[in-house]
Amino acid sequence: MIEPRTLKGFRDLLPAQALAREKILDIARRIYRSYGFAPIDTPALEYLEILTGKGSAETDKQLYSFTDHGDRRVGMRFDLTVPFARFAAQHIATLGTPFKRYHMATVWRGENTQRGRYREFMQCDFDTIGTTSPVADLETVLVVHDLLVAIGIKRFTIRVNDRRILGGVLRSAGLAERSTDVLRSLDKLGKQSLDAVVDEMAGHGVPADVARRLVAMAALAGPPAEVLAAVEPLVGDDAVGREGIAAVRTLLDGVAQAGVAEGRVVVDPSIARGLDYYTGIVLESFLDELPTLGSICSGGRYDDLAGLYTKQRLPGVGASLGIDRLLAGLEELGRLATAETPAEVFLVHFDAAHLGDYLRIAAALRADGMTVEFFPEARRLGQQLKLAAKKGFRVALVIGTDEFARGTAQLKNLATEATTTIAWEGDLAALVDAVHSHLEAIRSDH
RNA sequence: GUGGCUGUAGCUCAGUUGGUUAGAGCACUAGAUUGUGAUUCUAGGGGUCGCGGGUUCGAGUCCCGUCAGCCACCCCA
């Protein structure tokens, strides 16, 4: 016998989890579309050279790659951005710019696992390419905001920064060549103490007083305008750095004008993002109740998406929702729906002699748009009800021999155990209406 | 990839300094109850103690390896 098992970092999803994931995918799809992003898809497998050029040495190491049956070196995509770059280089001529797309798909990374970190997981990307307009930056933040709100997350924070600000600060401090190391150290601020980070920078050859100032800047918190004002002197006369500050100001103004609640979007000078292709605004978002989970939705602006694959310059901005990490977080917080069924109505199979009636009733309920499961066997009533409650149906519809004789039906709210009697006198439409309105009432209670 | 912690029934766990056929609660199945999700009672199914090897008269318990999970580094969703 072969032991049934799954690979490290790869998981099965049971109905409750798959239902939760699909629900969020539906929401993401709806929000992305509401801003005009169009869906695309790309292959899971690409020529290895497409994938290896772009990422750092780190992502190359994490890449799943092999030789296929035709002796081609191929790799599985580790994010959706690189395939999109290839896609854009190949198709931008027919698509035209600006081009807005979303892409929700599985990616693979052969790295070590941890809470909310898997080797196979889904990303929900959206990007706008072919424009440098600040409006596109603004929309990116608004989409992330709308998305998290629509998912039903009450407490979250979107942290924004601009790569140009960091660059300007480093240039003004004479640390331009050390920037990668310094940014990497700064990025650890959430997890390590200020002193530890200062020490680490000293190890990279940064004078202690400069390191201290950088760390103090990165640790700034409070109203965005104040944070920006505090950062400004550190940028000094660096023109690019000042552009970054102006860009963040513009962004925050837009966010406010769009009606986003205060405090939802903050400036965090320590946000750098690991991927080196970001050149403008960068953003990360966190669950306030679970900050250690890491960013659940991040992105930023890049100068040139597809420089490796085409001469046409394609600047853009976008972000990615890490749906599996988010689900891990919501599960830990006990916010995940527990229903194991997508159907709302459980039709009890009571009297096998009335099979035809049950089928007719189920069909009528479905034709009205309701989701209905008809139990396949005429098992004990108690057993059927218990099963229906456990699986998370909203209501159970009980029509037995007596009910058929009297032209009635029992509708049970499985959460409250309340029973209502419906008089339908053999009039299917009346039964459908009654069930429909009860369901509406139950849904609005939620 | 490196280091640390953990691994007993579907779930939560107990299991004395190594000592007979490995337990509990919940869950599950059947019945008491030929039409109502609960309660109670009765009976029942389920475990190669993650897996493999070693030490020992004897290993769930000690040692090594391995797989998986969690945590840290690294990186990120």
- ipTM value: 0.85
Examine residue A5 and state whether it is found in any structural domain, yes or no. Answer: no
**B36 C1': nearest CA residue:** A382
Examine residue A339 and state whether it is found in any structural domain, yes or no. Answer: no
In angstroms, the CA of A394 and the C1' of B33 are apart by: 27
Helix runs in A107-238, H state only: 134-151, 163-172, 179-187, 194-203, 208-218, 224-235
Same domain, A145 and A266: yes
CATH number of the structural domain spanning residue A385? 3.40.50.800
Cis before residue A98, ω within 30 degrees of 0?
Answer: yes
- End-of-domain residue from the set A298, A332, A366: A332
Are the CB atoms for A344 and A26 separated by under 8 Å?
A: no
Q: What is the pLDDT of residues A408-446, one digit of tens each?
A: 999 999 888 888 999 999 899 999 999 999 999 988 776
Residue A57 confidence class, pLDDT cut points 50, 70, 90: low
Examine residue A4 and state whether it is found in any structural domain, yes or no. Answer: no
- Locate A194 and state its tokens: 């200020």
pLDDT at A144 exceeding the cut of 90: yes
Query: What's the domain range around A185?
Result: 15-332
Same domain, A323 and A367: no
> What is the helix (H) or strand (E) element at residue A39, kind and residue range?
strand A38-39
Q: What is the pLDDT of residues A262-279, one digit of tens each?
A: 899 999 988 877 666 788
Q: What is the C-alpha separation between A141 and A298, in angstroms, rounded?
A: 10
Q: Which nucleotide's C1' atom has the smallest distance to the CA of A387?
A: B37
Whose CA is closest to A201, among A191, A212, A192, A190?
A212
Same domain, A287 and A372: no
Examine residue A3 and state whether it is found in any structural domain, yes or no. Answer: no
In angstroms, the CA of A96 and the C1' of B24 are apart by: 68
Average pLDDT (A202-229) is: 84
pLDDT at A55 exceeding the cut of 60: no
Q: What is the pLDDT of residues A151-205, one digit of tens each?
A: 999 899 999 999 999 889 888 888 877 777 787 777 777 667 777 788 878 777 7
In angstroms, the CA of A420 and the C1' of B26 are apart by: 32
pLDDT at A58 exceeding the cut of 70: no
Q: Which nucleotide's C1' atom has the smallest distance to the CA of A56?
A: B75
Same domain, A307 and A359: no
Same domain, A314 and A353: no
Q: What is the C-alpha separation between A345 and A404, in angstroms, rounded?
A: 19
Examine residue A182 and state whether it is found in any structural domain, yes or no. Answer: yes
Number of domains making up chain A: 2
**B34 C1': nearest CA residue:** A380
Q: Among residues of chain A, what percentage have pLDDT more than 90? A: 55
Same domain, A327 and A350: no
In angstroms, the CA of A152 and the C1' of B43 are apart by: 47
CA A350 to chain centre: 43
C-alpha dihedral sign at A125, A129, A133, A135:
negative
Same domain, A250 and A364: no
In angstroms, the CA of A331 and the C1' of B68 are apart by: 21
Examine residue A35 and state whether it is found in any structural domain, yes or no. Answer: yes
Give nucleotides in strand B with any atom < 7 A to a protein C-beta: 1-3, 28-31, 35-38, 48, 67-77
pTM of the model: 0.91
Same domain, A53 and A92: yes
